[in-house]
Structure 1
Amino acid sequence: MYREIYEYKADGYIEIENTSCIGGVVLYNSKKNKVVKSGEDAAYDKFVTFVQSQVTQVPGFPLIFNHTKPEGEFSFDNNKAYTITELEYLEPLSDKEGDEFVVWFKSVIDKLKEGGDFSAITDDPFGLLNELNLLRQYAVGNNIGLDLNKSSNVMVRSYKGIKQYVFTDPYG
């Protein structure tokens, strides 16, 4: 993993704060407006694989340019596995947005626990309800958990003053 990090740094990427990537490094290149995440997180690999499997780009998912597993698949007998992922640069949520997201997410989960379903939920201040439903279905089908009780797993895509909220690392 460190060889790849060195190569990206030689290409103008700089290390930035890592708020979610397990056992890894996050690099940013302002000229390319790209981020590279390296990490040892099997759940993140499942998320990226899921995003890449979508037939069309889903607005609440990041643009993934490249995703590799240089040491092979994650498994119980492979403790060397890691990923290198190139994706679009996204901005962190403000503290206020982060707090509001966590409250919203918990309210959605509470409604689902009460026996409701996604079609009955109308409160969607982040425009992520469809994506949340897709993530939940994939998680259930693949025996992984949603990890959205912290706002660092959601970021913002900004374009001409318009904000699009984006899930970046929703599985734990």
Structure 2
Amino acid sequence: LEALEQGAKEVILAYRRTKKQAPAGIYEINSLIRKGVKWMELVSPVEIVRKNEKVKGIKLQKMKLGEPDESGRPRPIPIPGSEFVLEVDTVIEAVGEIATPPLVNDFLGIKLDRKNRIIVDEHYRTTNPKVWAAGDVVTGPSFIGNAVKTGLYAAKSIHIHLSNKLL
């Protein structure tokens, strides 16, 4: 949503299951859709397509739902030969369900707090000035909407930094 507010022409959220199985919940997803986010379900990212080190697209694979997995939700199963490339210029990853910050405090100059969360400033920059962090590794376990929101704020901060603007 922040990406749309910052001028992105289009924001697409791709998910390997359907709205019904999404941890964020149908209400939150429908709210994003009403605000302009496009929802793609039953697709899973395979590869980020680059040309001259710039993002040009994302290769997605269509999925179908199978028997329930350990979470009780239908397991997403890749459909062979269903890959396609969606033309995009930016990819923001929101993957995983367990926060996995570095296991050692001060790894690559990134400091952790006493709850093992990555310490960031108001721009989501870590104690290593070349690394930003957002989502559960910063806040602790939360809803996906919060992770997306902080990820978008971090993306804005990175954009400003790379555009040589002052933070």
- TM-score strictly above 0.5: no
Instruction: Give TM-score scaled by structure 1 length.
Output: 0.26
Larger Rg: 2
Higher relative contact order (CA 8 A, sep 6+): 1
Instruction: Give TM-score scaled by structure 2 length.
Output: 0.27
